[in-house]
Amino acid sequence: MSLPAPTKIVCVGRNFHEHAKELGNVVPERPLIFLKPISSLIADGEAIVLPPQSTRVEHEGEIAVIIGKRAKNVSAADSLEYVAGYAPLNDVTARDLQRIDDQWTRAKGFDTFCPIGVMTPADGIDPSTLQVICRVNGEERQRGLASDMAFPVPVLIEYITSVMTLEPGDIIATGTPSGIGPLTPGDQVEVEIPGVGKLSNPVR
């Protein structure tokens, strides 16, 4: 399926109970959404560049949902009809900056801070059965099941499209499980969604 370039990347924070806990937070009563700029996108194999403004950049392996058709005020029951496919994504975060800024735009928005893999079409995929694994230099750091999300994919689509129109190609990053950790120059970070694909990026 050929899709246009995304107009936006909508991310979901604190969508796994254990990840919220490891940061000293609670899961919110409703989805906590924020945006990453399109300029943060890179592909498989491209380098994540650590910015001089931060001393603590961390990986966040996630399941990305790619929208296939224009979606506004979509119900959860109908939501999967609007999904073109799924892909592994890394919501790279400058954790030290996130802690000191009231909003997360700077911490999440540096160039190269949104690696995303090749999309696998949604046909036959039940997103509730997916899992996401993140490895750094071959060592597993994160493993989470979509069934452990506080707000599953259909609920996220319903909520987000009640706020903004999603266009074909737009990306929803559905949140990260526990196990986040630092990235250092020379690392190789990999995000895998079994049955969907892998994403691998060097760090410099």
Q: How many Å apart are CA 72 and CA 45, to the nearest integer?
A: 34
Q: Name the burial class of residue 77, with classes exposed (0-12), middle (13-18) and buried (19+) by CB atoms within 10 angstroms of its CB.
A: exposed
Q: How far is CA 202 from the centre of its chain?
A: 18
Joined tokens for residue 183: 């990235």
Contacts of residue 143, Cβ cutoff 8 Å, sequence gap at least 6: 131, 132, 133, 134, 177, 179
User: For residue 99, what pLDDT is reported?
Assistant: 95
Taking the chain (204 residues) in runs of 10, the rounded mean pLDDT of each run is 94 86 81 98 98 98 98 98 98 97 97 98 98 98 96 98 98 97 98 98 99
pLDDT tens string 102-147:
999 999 999 999 999 999 999 999 999 999 999 999 999 999 999 9
pLDDT tens string 88-107:
999 999 999 999 999 999 99
User: For residue 20, what pLDDT is reported?
Assistant: 62
Q: How many Å apart are CA 126 and CA 153, to the nearest integer?
A: 10
What CATH number has the domain spanning 9-202?
3.90.850.10
User: For residue 135, what pLDDT is reported?
Assistant: 98
- Is the pTM higher than 0.85? yes
Terminal Cα-to-Cα distance of the chain (whole angstroms): 33
Q: How many Å apart are CA 202 and CA 170, to the nearest integer?
A: 25
